[in-house]
């Protein structure tokens, strides 16, 4: 069991698209050594051959992970994990002590991962590196070995996860204490886009308890700056 007085609540780590819980190994190890109970999640659809999963399946699974923690946890969502964690917050905002978005943010009602994915497309593989970078996912700080491991272990995103819109009903989710760790885009720039109504960031302006942390690197700081990311999560969790 965890004692809140120690400032070390349980932490749930949720990776973005194409990744399983393994992506957090270095971060999880450092957080565990800091005294946290840590669980890194592999969402439905992020295991080899599991192409039938939906966004609703991911929300259901993550809700179960949250509920089995010894106390309300801090949940860390990287990149595309912002959609399923927003879904969990919408169902029960009080189940989560704090949400930390890593190069991500809260998703809006009706949002989809990729509205261009046709109904017959079964899954979406990891794009070429130049496609990722042109889309704003910086590879800064990643070694050739990091890239090789990513390519080797990446699992295609199920088409249903990409197509299914997120449906939200309870604005209580916007009151949960929130930290955004900005890595590939400075927080000042992100907030400027949010205030201009950019669809990717617009929900940020609706949060009532927001902390911003800058950790300059690329889109995958769990590999490019794992110790610094773990320390930032630890401080936010306290």
In this structure, what CATH number is given to the domain that contains residue 164? 3.40.50.1820
Q: What are the pLDDT digits (tens) for 35-91?
A: 999 999 999 999 877 788 999 999 999 999 999 999 999 999 999 999 999 999 999
- For residue 36, what pLDDT is reported? 96
- For residue 196, what pLDDT is reported? 92
DSSP string, 22-51: GGGHHHHHHHHHTT--EEE---TT-STT--
Instruction: Report the chain's mean pLDDT, rounded to a whole number.
Output: 93
**Containing H/E element for 11?**
strand 11-14
Q: Domain span at residue 112?
A: 4-237
Looking at the 3D structure of the chain, how many domains does it have?
1
pTM above 0.85, yes or no: yes
Is 6 a residue whose pLDDT tops 90?
Answer: no
> What is the SS3 assignment for 109-143?
CCCCCCCCCCCCCCEECCCCHHHHHHCCCCCCCCC
Is 126 a residue whose pLDDT tops 70?
Answer: yes
- For residue 176, what pLDDT is reported? 98
pLDDT tier for residue 1 given thresholds of 50, 70 and 90: very low
Q: What are the pLDDT digits (tens) for 97-114?
A: 999 999 999 999 999 987
3-class SS of residue 100: strand
Cβ–Cβ < 8 Å for 88, 96: yes
- For residue 180, what pLDDT is reported? 98
Cβ–Cβ < 8 Å for 123, 156: yes
- For residue 4, what pLDDT is reported? 46
Nearest CA to 45 out of 140, 134, 127, 113 is that of: 113
């Amino acid at each position: 069991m965890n004692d809140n007085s120690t400032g070390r609540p349980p932490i749930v780590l949720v990776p973005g698209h194409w990744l399983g819980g393994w992506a957090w190994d270095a971060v999880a190890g450092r957080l565990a050594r800091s005294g946290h109970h840590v669980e890194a999640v592999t969402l439905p659809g992020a295991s080899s051959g599991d192409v039938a999963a939906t966004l609703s399946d991911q929300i259901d699974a993550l809700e179960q992970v949250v509920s089995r923690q010894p106390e309300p946890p801090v949940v860390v969502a990287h990149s595309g994990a912002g959609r399923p964690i927003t879904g969990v917050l919408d169902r029960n905002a009080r189940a989560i002590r704090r949400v930390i978005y890593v190069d991500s943010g809260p998703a809006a009602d009706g949002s989809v991962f990729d509205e261009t994915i046709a109904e017959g497309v079964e899954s979406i593989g990891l794009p070429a590196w130049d496609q990722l970078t042109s889309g704003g996912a910086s590879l800064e700080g990643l070694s050739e070995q990091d890239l090789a491991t990513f390519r080797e272990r990446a699992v295609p995103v199920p088409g249903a996860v990409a197509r299914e819109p997120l449906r939200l009903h309870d604005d209580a989710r916007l009151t949960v204490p929130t930290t955004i760790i900005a890595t590939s885009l400075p927080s000042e720039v992100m907030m400027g886009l949010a205030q201009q109504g950019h669809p990717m960031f617009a929900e940020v302006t609706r949060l009532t308890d927001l902390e911003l942390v800058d950790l300059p690197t690329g889109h995958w700081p769990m590999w490019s700056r794992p110790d610094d990311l773990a320390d930032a999560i630890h401080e936010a969790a306290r």
